[in-house]
Structure 1
Amino acid sequence: MKTTIRNPALPTSPIIPGGMFPGRRVRVKGSTPLGARRFGIDFQYNNDIAFHFNPRFTSNTIVRNHYVGGSWGSPEEDAPLPLIRGTPFDILFICHYDRFEVIINGAHFCDFFHRVPFHRITNLTVGQDVAIESIEFEGAP
């Protein structure tokens, strides 16, 4: 099963069709403007964030974290940022039983181990300094 959202107005927060499960693949394709500072891709439920993915051009890093009950967890951060302002990107998130695998432009970037059970995730929120060409949800439970 594959569902694609094309050229959404931002910020966007679509419901993830069928929810999250091991084997679920979420692909985000887009680009950033030349003056981009940062953007966010958040796997959310209610007002909480199970996985916050935050490329930051100003610090040349990608910060990952979670946000539950009004508090941020311990951030994970890697540099250098494998994205270039003004150029297209393809970010693939693969849900596993114990973690999200993140692949950027065809290369493995990181693993983010679940801090919140993946089955709670209901929405994908994307926004800030980014233009999204498509969001694809693939896989069957």
Structure 2
Amino acid sequence: MTLQFEAFCAGGLAPGWSLTVQGHADAGEEKFEINFLTDAGDIAFHVKPRFSSATVVGNAFQGGRWGQEEVSSIFPLTLGEPFEMEVSADAEHFHIYAQEQKVLQFPHRHRPLATITRVRVLSEHRLAQVELAKRSLSWGDGGY
């Protein structure tokens, strides 16, 4: 697979970070994955849509071994069509959305989150846009 995007997360990952990927799922291509990497070289979170089985798979690679896969059969992606995937993080989970529909919630297996410092998107699909952003998390009425 071709590395299409790589970014450094200044200060490491924290609740509020999100990654949005937009592209076109070229017919006949199934190769697309997102990896959140640690300073030590582990993959703290790996997410991959599998068009052949219409599933989204999440996993982590730590200490030289893959963990137990978490598989979702919620799969709103279609080969030959444009797609959008978003991965966001809160204090406890990664949340994965495809076409604005939640497809998977994956508990953090690697802590502290701040040691997750890089994001890579590997793909054979045509990507139109990749955005990594840190959004503030807020709650309440703002003092009104």
One-letter amino acid matched to 2:15: P
Alpha carbons 1:63, 1:75 under 8 Å: kept: yes
Partner in structure 2 of residue 60 of structure 1:
54
Alpha-carbon distance between aligned partners in 2 of 1:21 and 1:122, rounded to the nearest angstrom: 10
Alpha-carbon distance between aligned partners in 2 of 1:93 and 1:80, rounded to the nearest angstrom: 15
Alpha-carbon distance between aligned partners in 2 of 1:111 and 1:77, rounded to the nearest angstrom: 10
User: Percent identity, aligned pairs only?
Assistant: 31
1:128/1:136 CA distance change after superposition, 3 Å: closer
One-letter amino acid matched to 1:20: L
Alpha carbons 2:76, 2:101 under 8 Å: kept: no
Partner in structure 1 of residue 24 of structure 2:
31
One-letter amino acid matched to 1:35: G
Q: Equivalent of 2:126, from 107, 111, 131?
A: 131
Larger Rg: 2
- How many residue pairs get aligned? The number is 133
Partner in structure 1 of residue 98 of structure 2:
104
1:140/1:58 CA distance change after superposition, 3 Å: closer
Alpha carbons 1:38, 1:58 under 8 Å: kept: no
Alpha-carbon distance between aligned partners in 2 of 1:99 and 1:128, rounded to the nearest angstrom: 24
Unmatched 5+ residue regions in structure 2?
A: 137-144
Mapping of 1:18-97 within 5 angstroms? 18-46=11-39, 47-97=41-91
One-letter amino acid matched to 1:57: F
Partner SS for 1:84: coil
One-letter amino acid matched to 1:10: L
Partner SS for 2:5: coil
Unmatched 5+ residue regions in structure 1?
A: 1-8
